Amino acid sequence: MGSEQIPQPPSTAATPHRPAPQEASVAGTAHRWLLKRIGDLWALLTDRPISLYAASVLRIGYGLLYLVFLLREFPHRDEIWGPGAPWTPALAQQLFDQTGWNSILILSDSRAYFEFCYVTALVTSALFMLGWRTRAVSVLFAVVVTSFHARSIFMTDGGDNLILLMALYLVLTACGRRWSLDARGNRLRESRAGDAPEPVRSLYAQQLHDARVTLTTVVHNCGILVIAAQVCFLYGSAGLYKIQGPTWGGGTALHYALNLELFQPWPALSHLVDDYPMVIAIAGYVTVLLQVAFPFVLFGRLKYPVLIVLLGMHIGIAVLLGLPLFSGAMIIADAVFLPDRFYAFLPHLWRRAARRTGMWRPAPGRAAGSASVPPQGRPSRSSSKHRAAPAEQQGTALSTGRASSVLGTRKPD
């Protein structure tokens, strides 16, 4: 009996520590997931400039839109912005003292100075659209848009406000690297240089060059993300404001809008559309639904049909309500959500359609479909000789791969 050991209950000392490895594992997994997401975000901002084609589309679109706007208002320029406007430069200066705005148009009351500013605005819009010296011209375009917007602030609407914001954001982007005179000049210089070796830089010069490239890439990517966030905020806030009122909930908001004389460029067409109340109600509900859901559908394929419906909605606003400037500004802004492979595929699609209709034929000595986007970066001298012979086969394969990526075999950006 004395030597008998008293049975001990199972030890519970290690029990509280048993979940410790699991907790450590969960914490480690969350830590690794967070680090991976931060690394992905950093790589997105610094590795390469994103949406270069989309930025070029915004540049071309807003430059053309503002150029057309200035040409359209050319007969009325003095009544809107000139010395003979009811909103005189003295009144504008008083408002600027309170709001902090400014405008180059009020620096002088001379009519010659105003005409010079107006011609400068026309030339700047055209050069910005064409992409000539885009870095400097984008700043000048932002100054022009800001000055004309502030000079007659009570004549502006939502379209003018959006163009002003986009003109400021585009200063941050590298919007001249595609479909521009600058890009064409760079291609011509590279073709003339051929396979000539690049000049050898010192260590300090190379580090300075790499820092400049990284900074330019980060600023461009941040500008693109700010543009996308601005559009999302615009749609989301517009949808949330609509659902607060009884007219959109009752499906009658578009009925009242179509019967306002101020927004009836073609009254007969407005009354014809208004004769179908069920269509009006459905259009109103779809508009609110798409605007509220827009920020949440950007990370999947559902964004493409949503963008198509929004395109039809903006065309309807331009035609039925007589707001082409606002609709054009919104349509151009929506282009930022289309991936670059879509825009890169457009020239191939145009050539294929032109060949089918007989409008375009390949140049002699060049196979059809041999055009391709030049590789990113300068190829080495040894590899360029091997790439020269099968260039036509590579171009055809690249065109086929590009087509398949747009049709959905790759995930959208």
* Number of domains, the chain: 2
- Of 259, 29, 55, the residue nearest 169 (C-alpha): 55
Q: Based on the fold, state whether residues 244 and 126 are members of the same structural domain.
A: yes
Per-residue confidence of the chain (413 residues) as pLDDT tens digits? 444 454 555 554 444 555 556 666 777 787 778 888 888 778 777 888 888 999 999 999 999 999 999 999 999 999 999 988 999 888 999 999 998 889 999 998 899 999 999 999 999 999 999 999 999 999 999 999 999 999 998 888 888 999 999 999 999 999 999 999 999 998 888 888 776 677 777 788 888 888 888 899 999 999 999 999 999 999 999 999 988 888 888 888 999 999 988 888 999 999 999 999 999 999 999 999 999 999 888 888 888 999 999 999 999 999 999 999 999 999 999 999 998 888 888 888 888 877 777 766 655 544 444 444 444 444 444 444 444 444 444 444 434 444 333 333 344 33
Q: Based on the fold, state whether residues 133 and 91 are members of the same structural domain.
A: yes
Q: Based on the fold, state whether residues 173 and 57 are members of the same structural domain.
A: yes
Q: Amino acid identity of 44?
A: L
Q: Based on the fold, state whether residues 281 and 316 are members of the same structural domain.
A: yes
Q: Based on the fold, state whether residues 165 and 252 are members of the same structural domain.
A: yes
SS3 (DSSP) at 320: helix
User: Rounded to an integer, what distance in angstroms lies between the CA atom of residue 63 and that of residue 181?
Assistant: 14
**359 CB-contact burial (10 Å; exposed 0-12 / middle 13-18 / buried 19+):** exposed
User: Rounded to an integer, what distance in angstroms lies between the CA atom of residue 206 and that of residue 141?
Assistant: 33
Find the length of the chain.
413
Q: Based on the fold, state whether residues 231 and 357 are members of the same structural domain.
A: no
User: Rounded to an integer, what distance in angstroms lies between the CA atom of residue 212 and that of residue 217?
Assistant: 9
Whether the Cβ atoms of residue 59 and residue 128 lie closer than 8 Å to each other: yes
User: Rounded to an integer, what distance in angstroms lies between the CA atom of residue 292 and that of residue 46?
Assistant: 31
Asked if the structure places residue 104 within a domain, the reply is yes
Q: What is the pTM of this model?
A: 0.77
Asked if the structure places residue 116 within a domain, the reply is yes
Asked if the structure places residue 208 within a domain, the reply is no
Q: Based on the fold, state whether residues 351 and 329 are members of the same structural domain.
A: no
Q: DSSP string spanning 98-128?
A: HH----GGGS---HHHHHHHHHHHHHHHHHH
User: Rounded to an integer, what distance in angstroms lies between the CA atom of residue 135 and that of residue 119?
Assistant: 20
Q: Based on the fold, state whether residues 405 and 311 are members of the same structural domain.
A: no
Identify the domain containing residue 218 by its residue range. Answer: 52-184+213-337
Assigned token pair, 36? 């991976």
**47 CB-contact burial (10 Å; exposed 0-12 / middle 13-18 / buried 19+):** exposed
Q: Based on the fold, state whether residues 319 and 405 are members of the same structural domain.
A: no
Q: Based on the fold, state whether residues 411 and 291 are members of the same structural domain.
A: no
Asked if the structure places residue 292 within a domain, the reply is yes
Asked if the structure places residue 177 within a domain, the reply is yes
Q: Based on the fold, state whether residues 180 and 324 are members of the same structural domain.
A: yes
- Of 412, 405, 165, the residue nearest 297 (C-alpha): 412
Q: Based on the fold, state whether residues 275 and 151 are members of the same structural domain.
A: yes
